[in-house]
Amino acid sequence: MNYKCISEEAIIAISNNCKKLKRLELADCTILSTSIDGEPLSSPSVLNELSKLQYLEHLNLRDTENIDDNTIIAIANNCKNLKSLDIQGISDTSETALVALTKLKNLESLTVGFRDISDSYIIRLKGLKVFDCDGCEKLTDVGIIQFIKNNPDLEKINADWLDDSKSIIKSQWLIVRT
C-alpha cells in the first residue's frame, strides 16, 4: 500500500483553522512528528484534534495509521454532524470504542471493513443508508438480518465476507455471492 504522510502540525493547523470544514480525506496516511534526532515518529494523540471539527460531515480515515480508541471516542462525542465515516483497515481500535459511534444520530454511511466486529455491535447501529463490513468475518446471517431490520432506509450493504457460504439470502437490500 502506498501510504502518504501528513505532519502533526498540519493536523493541528486543520483543526484550529478550518472550524467549518465539512469534508476531510486522510485515507492511507501516516501522521508524523519529528524527534530531536530528526527521525519521524508517529503520534496517535494528535488525531484527537480532529474532534474539534464539529461541522464535519464526511471523514475518511481508511487505512490511516495510529488511530486509537481515544480518537474514535473523541470523534463520536464531538463530531455530531458526521454523515459518512470510513474507518476500514484501522486495527488499533476496539469494538468498545466503535460502540461510541452509535451516538452519531446523523450517520448515514459507515465503512468498517476488515475488522473483528460482532453481530452484537452491528445490531446497535441505527439510521444507516450505507454499510460496508467487507471482510468482517465474525458477522453471521443472523446479525446481518437483524441489522437490516434495524435500518429500514438501508440503500447499500457490502458484506462480502461470506465467500464459502452455501446459503443464498434473498433480500431487496442484500446480495450474497456464493
pLDDT at 67: 86
- Convert the pLDDT of each residue in 112-161 to its tens digit: 998 889 999 999 999 999 999 999 999 999 999 999 999 999 999 998 76
pLDDT at 80: 97
If you average pLDDT over residues 59-88, what whole number do you get? 94
Q: Are 67 and 60 in contact (CB under 8 A)?
A: no
E strand spans, 13-124: 23-25, 29-34, 40-41, 58-60, 84-86, 109-111
Cell numbers of 26, please?
A: 486522510
Confidence (pTM): 0.85
Taking 70 as the threshold, does the pLDDT of residue 103 lie above it?
yes
- Convert the pLDDT of each residue in 1-50 to its tens digit: 556 888 889 999 999 999 999 999 999 988 876 554 555 555 557 889 99
Cell numbers of 45, please?
A: 494523540
Query: CA-to-CA distance for 99 and 72, rounded, in angstroms?
Result: 9
Q: Are 128 and 142 in contact (CB under 8 A)?
A: no
If you average pLDDT over residues 43-68, what whole number do you get? 89
pLDDT at 36: 47
Q: Which residue has the higher pLDDT, 7 or 58?
A: 58
Identify the H or E element spanning 110.
Answer: strand 109-111
pLDDT at 151: 97
